Amino acid sequence: MAPVLLQAEPGPIALELGRTALIIIDMQRDFVDPGGLGETLGNDVARLAPAIGPCKRMLAAARGI
């Protein structure tokens, strides 16, 4: 299978889908949710909310839905 080119910043990434895993670790609760670990550590979690949409799209693409 030929690599797939994923448009990303700072530059595109070539992925071999048969050898690639997507790992998203509890972003909403720990890192983005008010009252979560990130906020408890003093982080401004509101600045991370824009990451939720792209993560959802990546997860949907990885699942093939």
**DSSP conformational letter for 40:** H
State pTM to two decimals.
0.61
CB-neighbour burial class of residue 32 (10 A; exposed 0-12, middle 13-18, buried 19+): buried
DSSP string, 23-47: ---SIIIIIISTTSHHHHTT--GGG
Mean pLDDT by 10 residues, the chain (65 residues): 87 89 80 87 89 88 79
Supply the pLDDT for residue 30.
80
Please give the pLDDT value at position 40: 92
